[in-house]
């Protein structure tokens, strides 16, 4: 019998480690925490990570199986990385094995043995530098390559020769043979020419840079609160430059894939360093490579979306999280974590600064700034002479609308186009219209599997459910009364596109939503097209609100914001004000002043008037007071237990049992709200209920959950349902 047991995190929903025996010919010294293994699990093999090694087991040692394979001779993850994963699993009350599985790149977790791919670089050797043109002129192709390499003055990759439309391989080979060209294998991309800005940071930027750099070697969270176009990115660049020059690495987190190429381009132009990118649009190999290079320290900057927050750093120096208010930092299924909150924990563990940048801080972050947990840095003015946009409300009450567009808005669009400037129209829904209705009997296209309406997509002639994905062809007659009097109700991006096309037939119109940008590179093409300039109209959903830089847009119209004024979700007003401010920030970013027109039927709504007359900061201040009075986050802490099943009865049975359990646990300060049906009771054929747990402090809530959740897992009625726990939920759906 061995004298030790391996305690392995395996990708399963069971929240514990699994004990395995070592391989028979191995010694204790062959094993270390953080190594990957494959293990027999049920009838399959699964990959896992050794999280501890113990000298005894609670199980019958004779029944334990040995691992199938030891994948790493030295640990893939170090103690610090493991500690972060363990913290995340315990904070989010999520099975540790799944936490690893869902946050490591697939190729890394599936146990492939990987090494960093090397790049082949070519450069002129010393002796060929002293050659003269005339020495090589007998071989014109070699001469061309020689001139090219000489001009580049730094090692180049082979794709640098792609500009030659002849076979450059054989002349290059001859030059290598002659010792004229050196070939080297490197981890690192060659550094291209670096731009230096033709301006110096303004006083607000400089103050922000100085504050962060003063605590470069200690943990601190900085909230960089700067209006759109105030030069936040410039602050990031300067900070990164300084951190890199001290030999450390920088992790940069963004909410949205489509923003990465734009920002990566800007970074590469300014920073002489090896930068890697990680997001879900890349293939498995690319993601694994980025992960490895950052972990090993050959890449100095990692630019990534949510899951990149887990990438190990060789020499941690700084974390930057841009658009910190953005909901996409929260994973909404499976392992429900907040990349922002994990990033802050990481910075604290690594004792480095973290900068949270935004023009519209979340109420959570403002609260933390008010309580001096975060340091509040502000950039109040737009740079380079750009002024704040004018925001106006268009009262749509009793106005004749032309397919949802008001006269004043149409007139403004026409004037903007006449000046050869660009327009953004913001619509909150993709598709043509959210409802198809029968004029003679009132029939409405409903999803059979969800409590929701089917959205009309005219381009593809489909009725689609945006919740479960069901699609039908659009009927020509009413399924109930057979009359052919079906009409669309409400607006979507496609419908506005159609109306705009009829008003401005000669103007290029681009639609930007999840349908139109599904194709890879589609978003980049849109951005390129817009940056070419000229009169154009962009119609898009909130995808448009995120960080893109469109210098020629001087008019933004918002068409359907009223729903946000009357939502039952207590965060709806915060989201709406962030959205309006962000969308408005797309207008007039350079020397031209921007104008924002908001169509509403409630121009006197206090939320709108506060936001427009006094700005986001005033709205936020007021909203925080209301949250405190209503005992809501960030003043109170929440966790949401979600339950669903095909049969409503199974859900109710489980909830009865859960309440029984709850009645046996000391509640302390924890209050229980519900159970109640989810705002959308039925979705994808499953009935959904929820139970909200809330407490004025974090600790009692988590203690309560630590007792409740394992007991829930043991319930017999739990086998017929699916449940999940969402810590600090940001969406009560
Ligand atoms: P944000 O990230 O806050 O939206 P950016 O950093 O993108 O703002 O800055 C907006 C524009 O202003 C960019 O074109 C940037 O190059 C320029 N800029 C930034 N800082 C300054 C400065 N101090 N002086 C002049 N121009 C600046
Ligand atoms: Zn009908
Ligand atoms: Zn559906």
- Mean pLDDT calculated for residue range 341-357: 97
- Residue 386 DSSP label: P
Q: Whose CA is nearest to atom 25 of ligand 1?
A: 384
pLDDT of residue 103: 84
DSSP letter at 78 equals -
Least confidently predicted of 103-107, 317-321, 485-489, 521-525: 521-525
Q: Which ligand is nearest to the CA of 478?
A: 2
Torsion-angle region of residue 229: left (phi > 0), alpha (psi -120 to 50) or beta? left
Residue with tokens 């019958």: 60
660 φ, ψ (degrees, to nearest 5): -60, -50
Q: Is the pLDDT of residue 94 over 90?
A: yes
d(CA 571, CA 634): 11
Cα distance between residue 578 and residue 589, in whole Å: 18
pLDDT at 37: 93
Q: What percentage of the chain carries pLDDT values higher than 70?
A: 94
Q: What is the mean pLDDT of the chain?
A: 89
Q: How far is the CA of 685 from the centre of ligand 3 (A)?
A: 8
Q: How far is the CA of 437 from the centre of ligand 2 (A)?
A: 8
Please list the alpha-helical segments (H only) found in 307-377: 339-350, 363-370
Read off the pLDDT of residues 164-202 as tens digits, 9 standing for 90 and up. 778 888 899 998 998 889 887 766 555 566 778 888 999
Ligand 3 centroid vs 465 CA: distance in angstroms?
5
* More confident site: 405 or 148: 405
Fold equal for 5-109 and 390-433+490-626: no
pLDDT band of 118, cuts 50, 70, 90: low
Q: Ligand 3 centre and the CA of 19: distance in Å?
A: 42
- pLDDT class for 314, splitting at 50, 70, 90? very high
Residues 574-594 have a mean pLDDT of 79
- As a residue count, the chain comes to 733
- pLDDT higher than 70, residue 700: yes
pLDDT number for residue 474? 95
What's the pLDDT at 369?
96
pLDDT tens for each residue of 649-690:
999 999 999 999 999 988 888 999 989 999 899 999 999 999
Most informative mutation of 383, 546, 547 for ligand 1 (most atoms within 8 A of CB) = 383
Distance from residue 559's CA to the centre of ligand 2 (Å): 29
The answer, yes or no, to whether residue 642 has pLDDT greater than 90, is yes
Q: Between 261 and 560, name the one with better pLDDT.
A: 560
CATH code for the domain defined by 203-379: 3.40.50.300
| C-alpha 643 to ligand 3 mean position (Å) | 18
Ligand 1, atom 9, lies closest to the CA of 231
Protein residue with its CA nearest to atom 26 in ligand 1: 384
Q: Which ligand is nearest to the CA of 269?
A: 1
**Paired tokens of 274:** 């090896």
Distance of CA 486 from the midpoint of ligand 2 (Å): 8
CA proximity to 589, closest of 361, 392, 413, 359: 359
Can you give the residue ranges of every domain in the chain? Answer: 5-109, 119-186, 203-379, 390-433+490-626, 637-727
pLDDT at residue 351 tops 90:
yes
User: pLDDT grade, residue 311 (50/70/90)?
Assistant: very high
pLDDT at 195: 77
What is the CB < 6 Å shell around ligand 1?
Answer: 199, 201-202, 205, 226, 228-234, 383-384
Specify the CATH superfamily of domain 5-109: PriA, 3(prime) DNA-binding domain (3.40.1440.60)
Residue pair 20/65 in contact by the 8 Å Cβ criterion = yes
Question: Ligand 1 center to residue 590 CA distance, Å?
Answer: 9
**Strand, coil or helix: what is 278?**
strand
Q: Which of 130-144, 181-195, 457-471 has the highest mean pLDDT?
A: 457-471
List the one residue out of 248, 226, 467 whose CA is nearest residue 355.
226
Confidence of residue 329 (pLDDT cuts 50, 70, 90): very high
Instruction: Give the residue whose CA is nearest to atom 20 of ligand 1.
Output: 231
Tokens matching residue 55: 């000298």
How sure is the predictor about 428, in pLDDT bands with cuts at 50, 70 and 90?
A: confident
**What does the pLDDT read at residue 532?**
79
| C-alpha–C-alpha distance, residues 439 and 427, integer Å | 25
Token couple for 240: 């990164």
For 637-727, CATH gives 3.30.70.600
- Mutation probe of ligand 1 site: the residue of 198, 209, 234 with most atoms within 8 A of C-beta: 234
Considering only CA atoms, which residue is closest to atom 4 of ligand 1? 229
Kindly state the helix (H) or strand (E) to which residue 171 belongs, with its residue range. helix 169-177
Residue from 198, 204, 231 to probe ligand 1 pocket by mutation (most atoms less than 8 Å from CB): 231
pLDDT score of 385: 61
544 C-alpha to ligand 1 centroid (Å): 19
Q: How confident is the model at residue 591 (pLDDT cuts 50, 70, 90)?
A: low
The residue whose two tokens read 């093999």 is: 45
d(CA 221, CA 212): 9
Quick check: 518 pLDDT over 60? yes
Residue 144 has pLDDT above 80, yes or no: yes
pLDDT value at 1 more than 60: no
Highest mean pLDDT among 89-98, 157-166, 258-267, 602-611: 89-98
Check whether 255 has a pLDDT greater than 80: yes
Ligand nearest to the CA of 455: 3
Q: Is the pLDDT of residue 388 over 90?
A: no
Superfamily of domain 390-433+490-626: P-loop containing nucleotide triphosphate hydrolases (3.40.50.300)
Q: List the residue whose alpha carbon is closest to atom 5 of ligand 1.
A: 231
């Amino acid at each position: 019998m061995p004298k030790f047991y391996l305690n392995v995190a395996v990708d399963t929903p069971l929240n514990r480690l699994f004990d395995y025996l070592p391989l028979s010919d191995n010694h204790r010294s062959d094993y270390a925490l953080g190594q990957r293994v494959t293990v027999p699990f049920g009838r399959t093999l699964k990959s896992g990570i050794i999280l501890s090694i113990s000298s005894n087991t609670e199980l019958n040692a004779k029944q334990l199986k040995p691992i199938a394979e030891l994948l790493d001779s030295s640990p893939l993850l170090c103690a610090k990385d493991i500690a972060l994963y363990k913290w995340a699993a315990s904070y989010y009350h999520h099975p540790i094995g799944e936490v690893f599985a869902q946050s490591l790149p697939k190729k890394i977790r599936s146990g492939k043995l990987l090494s960093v791919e090397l790049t082949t670089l070519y450069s002129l050797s010393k002796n060929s530098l002293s050659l003269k043109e005339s020495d090589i002129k007998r071989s014109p192709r070699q001469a061309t390559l020689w001139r090219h390499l000489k001009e580049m003055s730094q090692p180049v990759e082979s794709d640098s020769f792609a500009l030659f439309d002849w076979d450059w391989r054989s002349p290059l080979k001859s030059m290598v043979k002659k010792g004229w060209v050196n070939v080297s294998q490197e981890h690192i991309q060659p550094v291209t020419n670096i731009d230096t800005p033709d301006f110096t940071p303004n006083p607000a930027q400089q103050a922000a840079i100085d504050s962060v750099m003063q605590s470069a070697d200690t943990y601190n969270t900085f909230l960089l609160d700067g209006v759109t176009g105030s030069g936040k990115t410039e602050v990031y660049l300067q900070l990164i430059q300084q951190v890199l020059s001290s030999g450390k690495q920088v992790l940069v987190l963004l909410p949205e894939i489509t923003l990465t190429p734009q920002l990566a381009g800007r970074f590469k132009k300014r920073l002489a360093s090896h930068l890697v990118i990680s997001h879900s649009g890349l293939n498995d190999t690319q993601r694994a490579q980025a992960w490895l290079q950052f972990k090993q320290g050959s890449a100095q900057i990692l630019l990534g979306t949510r899951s990149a927050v887990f990438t190990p750093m060789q020499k941690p120096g700084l974390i930057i999280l841009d658009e910190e208010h953005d909901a996409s930092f929260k994973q909404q299924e499976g392992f429900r974590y907040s990349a922002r909150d994990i990033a802050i924990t990481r910075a604290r563990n690594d004792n480095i600064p973290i900068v949270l940048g935004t023009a519209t801080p979340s109420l959570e972050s403002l609260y933390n700034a008010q309580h001096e947990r975060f340091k509040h840095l502000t950039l109040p003015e737009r740079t380079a002479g750009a002024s704040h946009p004018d925001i106006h409300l268009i009262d749509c009450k009793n106005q004749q609308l032309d397919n949802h567009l008001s006269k004043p808005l149409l007139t403004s669009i026409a004037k903007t186009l006449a000046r050869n400037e660009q327009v953004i129209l913001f619509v909150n829904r993709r598709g043509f219209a959210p409802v198809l209705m029968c004029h003679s009997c009132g029939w409405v296209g409903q999803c059979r599997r969800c409590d929701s309406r089917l959205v009309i997509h005219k381009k593809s002639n489909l009725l689609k459910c945006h919740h479960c994905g069901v699609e039908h062809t659009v009927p020509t007659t009413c399924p109930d009364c057979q009359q052919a009097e079906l009409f669309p109700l409400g607006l979507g991006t496609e419908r506005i596109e159609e109306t705009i096309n009829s008003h401005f037939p000669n103007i290029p119109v681009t639609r930007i939503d999840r349908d139109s940008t599904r194709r890879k590179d589609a978003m980049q093409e849109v951005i390129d097209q817009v940056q070419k300039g000229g009169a154009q109209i962009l119609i898009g959903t909130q995808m448009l609100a995120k960080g893109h830089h469109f210098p020629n847009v001087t008019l933004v119209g918002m068409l359907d914001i009223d729903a946000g004024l009357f939502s039952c979700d207590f965060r709806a007003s915060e989201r709406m004000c962030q959205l309006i401010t962000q969308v408005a920030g797309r207008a007039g970013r350079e020397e031209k002043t921007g104008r924002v027109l908001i169509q509403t039927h409630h121009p006197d709504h206090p939320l709108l008037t506060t936001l427009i007359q006094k700005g986001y900061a005033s709205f936020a201040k007021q909203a925080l007071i209301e949250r405190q009075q209503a005992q809501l986050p960030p003043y109170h802490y929440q966790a949401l237990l979600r339950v669903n099943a095909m049969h409503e009865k199974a859900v109710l049975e489980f909830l009865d049992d859960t309440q029984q359990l709850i009645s046996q646990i000391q509640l302390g300060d924890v209050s229980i709200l519900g159970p109640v049906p989810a705002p959308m009771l039925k979705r994808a054929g499953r009935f959904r209920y929820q139970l909200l747990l809330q407490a004025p402090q974090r600790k009692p809530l988590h203690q309560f959950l630590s007792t409740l959740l394992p007991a829930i897992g043991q319930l017999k009625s739990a086998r017929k349902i699916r449940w999940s726990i969402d810590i600090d939920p940001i969406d009560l759906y």
